[in-house]
Amino acid sequence: MNLPPPTEKQARIIWLALTGLALALIVALVAATVWGLGRVLNVLSPVLWPIAVAGVLAYLLDPVVDFLQRRGVPRARGIAVVFVLALVIVTGLIASVVPRLVTEAQDLASKADTYTSQLRHRATGLAQEPPTWLPKAVVPLLRTLGEAAAPGTNVTSIVSTNLVSETSAVPATETVTAPAATAPADQASFKSITDSVARILPRFGQWLSRVFGFVGAVFGVIAGLALIPIYAFYFLLEKHGIESKWTDYLPIHESKLKEEVVFVLNSINDYLIAFFRGQVLVAICDGILYTIGFTIIGLPYSVLIGVMATFLTIIPFLGAITTCVTALLIALVSFGDWQHPVGVLAVFAVVQALEGLVIQPKIMGDRVGLHPVTIIIALMVGTTLLGGILGGILAIPLTAALRVVMFRYVWKKREV
C-alpha cells in the first residue's frame, strides 16, 4: 500500500518531534553520565582525593617553579625550594593559628547547648512579640525555628525505664519456668554463662567492626596525606612531559575525532587550572578579610569562622552565604543586640565588595566567563548530580568547559 508523502506542514511537525526527542535523549545521556561520574567519584574517593589535592597544589605552585626555572634554577631544585618555603609557611600558620582555632572550636562545642537554648528563646520571643521593623513573613520562620530547637525527649529516662521493665520481666520468666529449679546448680550456671556469651558476642562483633572501620579510615586519611606531596612533586617535575605526550596515551587513532577529543580535554584542563588556581587564592583572601573584620567588631570565634570561610568560599555564593548566616547566628546568641549583627552584615558587604571589585578581577579576571545566574544553576545541578561539596566545586569549571564545547559545536559555526 503506497502512502502519500507528508505535506510540508506534516514534515515540519515530524522533524520538530524528532529534534525534541533527540534533545531529550542528549539531556538524559548527559545527566546519566554526570550521575555515573558522581557515583564513581564516591566509590573511588579514597584514591582520588589525594590526587585531586596534589593537582590543586601543583596548579598553585607551578608559577613559582616556572619563575625559578626561568632564573636558571634546575626544575627539581626549584621544586624542592618551593616545597621548603611552603613547609615553612604552613608551619608558621599552624603554630600561630591552630592553637587558637582549637581553643575556639572546643569553646564553641562546650557552649553549643547554651547557644541553642538562647537561639530558641530569642526566636520564640521575636515570634511572640515581633518588632515593627521585622517583616511578617519572617515570623512563621522564627516560630518554626523555636519549635525545632526545643529540647527533645529525655533519652536517658527512656533507656532506664526500658532497662527496668526488662529486668523486672526476668523474675516473671523464672517463675514460669520454676519446675526447672530441680536441675543441678552447675547446669543452671552453665546455661547462664552460655546465654550471656550469646548476648555479648554479637555486640562485641559490632564493636570490633566499628573499631576496625575507624582504624581503616584513619589509616586511609594518613596515607592520603602522606601521598599528597609525592604526587604534587611528580606533577610539577613531569609537567612538560605530561603537556607534550599525554595525547599519545589516548586510546584513539590519529584522526579528526582525536583532534576534537584533545580540544575538549584541553578546554576542561584550562578551566580547571584557571578556576582552582584563582578561586583558592580568592578564598584565602576572603578568609583573611573575614577574620580581620570579625575580630575588629569583637565577634567570638572570628578565627574559626575565617578558617571555615576559607574552605567554604571555594564554592561561589554558597560558601559566602553559609559564612554570613553562621556569623549572624553567633552574633545574635552571643550579644542579643542589633549592633553586632549589623556589624556582621557590614563586614560581609565590605568583603564581598572587595572580592568583586578588586580581588577576583586581579586574580581570575574573566577566565571562567560565566554569568552569575549560570554559576548558581551550575552549583545547584552539580550538588544534586555529583553530590555534596565535591559537586559544587567541580560544577563551575565543568560548566565553563561545556560552554566552550557548545560554542564550538552548537551555538556558533565552526571556524575553518
Predicted pLDDT at 292: 93
Predicted pLDDT at 105: 82
State yes or no: pLDDT of 346 exceeds 90: yes
State yes or no: pLDDT of 143 exceeds 80: no
State yes or no: pLDDT of 380 exceeds 50: yes
Least confident interval from 73-82, 255-264, 324-333: 255-264
Q: Using one digit for the tens of pLDDT, what is the confidence trace for 236-257?
A: 888 877 777 777 777 777 778 8
Predicted pLDDT at 174: 44
What b/e readout covers 20-41, taking b as 16+ CB neighbours within 10 angstroms?
eeeeeeeeeeeeeebeeebeeb
State yes or no: pLDDT of 414 exceeds 60: no
Least confident interval from 156-170, 240-254, 318-332: 156-170
Is residue 138 within 8 Å of residue 122, measured between CB atoms?
no
Q: How confident is the model at residue 173 (pLDDT cuts 50, 70, 90)?
A: very low
Predicted pLDDT at 163: 38
Top-confidence residue, 190 or 54: 54
* Mean pLDDT value of segment 357-372: 70
Q: How confident is the model at residue 416 (pLDDT cuts 50, 70, 90)?
A: very low
State yes or no: pLDDT of 158 exceeds 60: no
* Mean pLDDT value of segment 149-177: 44
Is residue 286 within 8 Å of residue 355, measured between CB atoms?
yes
Q: What are phi and psi of 171, to 5 degrees?
A: -60, -35
- Of these ranges, 199-203, 204-208, 297-301, 393-397, the one predicted with the greatest mean pLDDT is 297-301
